[in-house]
């Protein structure tokens, strides 16, 4: 083990401790069986998992994902056959059509979530793990690791697959649908990226890298902590790599003095950096509630035009038609595709509204320092983070229809103004959830 690591582990007889990234509770590390997980004893959040042959499996999945990403973006996803002529589109073709029609914000959002971020996720894993497999140290592993975390949050291949299935049902009522090889490769890419994310063990990665700490501070096994939380002990957990370091002011270590702990929460933003991955450290996310409310209020304002204005304009020999999100749900229902109608209703109407209400409830309770059912509110927060991305479903449906239905005088589909508003609602609610610090749910218990 390197000297840097030894400095963080302390004496060999001492037990390393970790802090929960959701409630900040200090806990001693314990052995985890293979394919097992360690959960926080207070909020039940997953602290870490242990996988067998984690890095080798992840590297294999990532290399295969790189190949499938090329196939998925080089070949057509789906096509329409009209009078013997086949009109096909790739994912980049859909992005290009939206940009040409003046919908560049929507075009950029689709490009980032379906092409750029999945590529960054696969390449980032290869960049980190292939040199280790060859006995070398990856260049700038800290920066690549932080970028990988962002790519995993914003890559939405699984939502794209569902969007393509909905688009296929709608296209089947226009002309004969021809599935392209990219449709199947995108499905395989989704599975490989999910498998890579599940198998990846960041703790194993950092333990193999030389010159970086692979554990946090250690305490004697028979000595109680100075405080219940990391902030109360003058410690700070990195939200990127999970390393526990000393970063909070020393006067905040008295657990009994909530004012001191609250002062530690509001230290200047980005006052320190993680010695392992280089991420900014802060006992609590800076201006968490202010940024959460700002994103949430903007999402509420845009939610109205997103559901009232037309999301898609269709022109044909029989006239022009403007469809809202709800009218699209009705169309799927009346055409006999009621399972997809229910899916689109949940993803595009119910989920954004419920997510806005849930984040508003969490932010309000944190503002009021409510002590009501913190474990239940922690579960609501995790659910909000889990379902937020699925609202992008309708955006991908619009992109495919816009790219394919371009028969000039016969039929043309263009994205409506509500599409941009709806995409903004999805992004803003995701930013609101990311800005909210779940540790604020538990900090109010200090005032009891």
In the chain the domains, ranked by start, together with CATH numbers, are: 3-50+215-275 (no CATH), 54-202 (no CATH), 288-447 (1.20.140)
Check whether 85 has a pLDDT greater than 80.
no
The backbone torsions φ and ψ at residue 441, rounded to the nearest 5 degrees and listed phi first, read -60, -35
Closest CA to 388 of 347, 420, 419, 422: 347
Average pLDDT over residues 118-138: 95
Check whether 92 has a pLDDT greater than 50.
yes
Using pLDDT thresholds of 50, 70 and 90, give the confidence band for residue 14.
low
50-65 tens-digit pLDDT: 888 899 999 999 999 9
Using pLDDT thresholds of 50, 70 and 90, give the confidence band for residue 438.
very high
Contact present, 157 and 117 (Cβ < 8 Å): no
pTM for the predicted model, two decimal places:
0.85
More confident call, 341 vs 297: 297
Q: Output the pLDDT for position 316.
A: 61
Using pLDDT thresholds of 50, 70 and 90, give the confidence band for residue 269.
very low
Residue 32 buriedness (CB in 10 A; 0-12 / 13-18 / 19+)? middle
187-237 tens-digit pLDDT: 999 999 999 999 999 888 988 886 666 666 655 555 555 558 888 888 888
CA distance 442 to 231: 12
Check whether 81 has a pLDDT greater than 90.
no
Q: Output the pLDDT for position 233.
A: 82
């Amino acid at each position: 083990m390197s000297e840097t690591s030894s400095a963080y582990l302390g004496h060999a007889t001492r037990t390393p401790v970790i802090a929960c990234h959701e409630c900040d509770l200090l806990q001693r590390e314990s052995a985890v069986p293979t394919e097992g997980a360690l959960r926080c004893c207070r909020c039940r959040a997953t602290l870490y998992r242990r996988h067998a042959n984690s890095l080798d499996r992840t590297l294999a999945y990532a290399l295969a994902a790189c190949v499938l990403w090329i196939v998925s973006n080089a070949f057509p996803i789906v096509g329409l056959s009209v009078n013997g002529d086949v009109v096909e589109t790739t994912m980049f073709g859909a992005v290009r059509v939206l940009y040409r029609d003046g919908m560049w914000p929507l075009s950029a959002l689709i490009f980032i979530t379906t092409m750029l971020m999945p590529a960054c996720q696969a390449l980032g894993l290869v960049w980190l793990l292939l040199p280790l497999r060859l006995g070398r140290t990856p260049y700038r592993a800290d920066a690549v690791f932080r970028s990988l975390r962002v790519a995993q949050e914003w890559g939405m291949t699984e939502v794209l697959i569902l969007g393509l299935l909905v688009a296929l049902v709608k296209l089947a009522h226009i002309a004969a649908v021809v599935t392209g090889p990219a449709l199947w490769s995108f499905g395989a890419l989704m599975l490989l990226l999910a498998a890579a994310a599940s198998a990846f063990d960041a703790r194993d990665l950092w333990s193999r890298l030389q010159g970086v700490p692979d554990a946090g501070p250690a305490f004697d096994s028979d000595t109680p902590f100075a405080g219940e939380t990391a902030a109360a002990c003058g410690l700070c957990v990195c939200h990127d790599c999970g390393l526990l370091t000393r970063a909070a002011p020393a006067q905040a270590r008295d657990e009994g003095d909530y004012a001191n702990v609250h002062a530690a929460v509001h230290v200047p933003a980005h006052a320190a950096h993680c010695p392992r991955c280089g991420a900014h450290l802060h006992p609590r996310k800076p201006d968490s509630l202010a940024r959460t409310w700002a994103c949430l209020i903007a999402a509420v304002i845009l939610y109205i035009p997103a559901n009232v204005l037309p999301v898609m304009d269709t022109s044909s020999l029989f006239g022009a038609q403007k469809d809202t999100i709800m009218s699209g749900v009705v169309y799927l229902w009346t055409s006999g595709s009621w399972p997809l109608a229910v899916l689109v209703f949940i993803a595009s109407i119910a989920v954004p509204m419920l997510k806005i209400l849930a984040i508003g409830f969490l932010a309000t309770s944190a503002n009021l320092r409510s002590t009501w059912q913190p474990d239940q509110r922690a579960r609501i927060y995790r659910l909000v983070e889990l379902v937020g991305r699925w609202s992008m479903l309708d955006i991908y449906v619009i992109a495919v229809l816009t790219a394919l239905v371009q028969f000039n005088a016969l039929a043309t589909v263009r994205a409506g103004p509500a599409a941009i508003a709806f995409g903004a609602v999805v992004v803003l609610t995701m930013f609101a959830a990311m800005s909210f610090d779940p540790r604020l749910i538990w900090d109010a218990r200090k005032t009891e």
